[in-house]
Structure 1
Amino acid sequence: MLLILLGVLILHLIILILLIVSTAASAWSISGSESKDLWYICSNNGNYNCRTSHNDDSIQAVQALMILSVIFCFFALIAFLYQLFKLVKGGRFFFTAIFQILASLFVMCAAIIYTVMVAKDSNDQFGYAYVLAWVAFPLCLISGLIYIVLRKKE
């Protein structure tokens, strides 16, 4: 049982790191020498120049959803650690599961909005931060489902 709990905790930490990196990294889309993320558009034409991202409603929605996913994943981690020590024997980690599944839904919605947004610009390619967000989505969903099934045993 200890190995299962340790495995779930490590999976949760990996998901949290993936979400933080995908939210903060500067490579959601790349076009030529220009890289775009949720916050800045940076170009590398001999010197590195960054300007703030456009204030479109879609990019603000992606920013908000990614921040919410990080927050909910962090709260799920705190809830898991709290329930690990305070939950009665035989109890399930429903509270943690709800937070984790909500985090996965937020990541999915953010990635879908960004996909539709970048599809308008045909010369853009997706960057590694975008891929990390899509990798974090199923991991986060699987983690939430594991929390639903997981029972506390003594």
Structure 2
Amino acid sequence: MMALLLLFVIVLHLVTLAMLFIAIMEKSWWAWGEIETSDLWHNCMFDNATQTWLCSSRTEETDWLQAVQALMILGVVFSSISFLVFLGQLFTMSKGGLFYLTGLCQIVAGMSVFAAALIYTFQHQDILQDTRELTLGKFGFCFIMAWACVPLLMLSGVLYVHLRKRA
């Protein structure tokens, strides 16, 4: 039973880490239809003639955007550190030990992503700084994926805190 829980926690951690990477790297935090998107790093437009995305780096970075970028990167860093610490503890910790440090790092990662998603939620008008009508756009799938990572990171952090090394 404990081996199954251990496998579940590892898979949950890796899936959440992959979701975080996708949320940071993909180009859909805000979308105006199917042809124009904005993410944390670029503004992109779909070119029908070449059937490719044309992306330009953001020239105007607000303090809010920099905060979201930093917090998302911090979330990935803490989640990655958490996984490496877990692997280290798995092979060096004595039997019966608890994975407190791993769980704490994962919870801090969850709080970082929560703060980033919350800032983007309430400050997206300032972050986008666009003359287009924002009511014509909507939050993209990367934004939703970032919000989905928050409870998953917290859950895995709590599971790590309660997980005991058996062998």
TM-score category of the 2 structures, normalised to the smaller one: over 0.9
Residue 131 of structure 2 corresponds to which residue in structure 1? none
Determine if the alignment matches structure 1 residue 76 to structure 2 residue 85.
no
| Kept in 2: contact 1:30–1:127 (CA 8 A) | yes
Given candidates 37, 40, 61, the residue that maps to 1:38 is: 40
CA–CA separation in structure 2 for the residues paired with 1:105 and 1:43 = 32
| Kept in 2: contact 1:101–1:141 (CA 8 A) | yes
Determine if the alignment matches structure 1 residue 63 to structure 2 residue 69.
yes
1:115 partner letter: T
Q: TM-score, normalised by structure 1?
A: 0.94
2:63 partner letter: D
Measured after TM superposition, the shift of residue 122 of structure 1 is 3.4
CA–CA separation in structure 1 for the residues paired with 2:22 and 2:48 = 26
Determine if the alignment matches structure 1 residue 92 to structure 2 residue 98.
yes
2:44 partner letter: C
Q: TM-score, normalised by structure 2?
A: 0.87
CA–CA separation in structure 1 for the residues paired with 2:16 and 2:46 = 31
Unaligned runs of 5+ in 1: none
Q: Aligned residues: percent identity?
A: 40
Say what the alpha-carbon RMSD is for the aligned residues.
1.4
| Kept in 2: contact 1:118–1:124 (CA 8 A) | no
Unaligned runs of 5+ in 2: 127-133
Residue 17 of structure 1 corresponds to which residue in structure 2? 18
Q: How many residues align?
A: 154
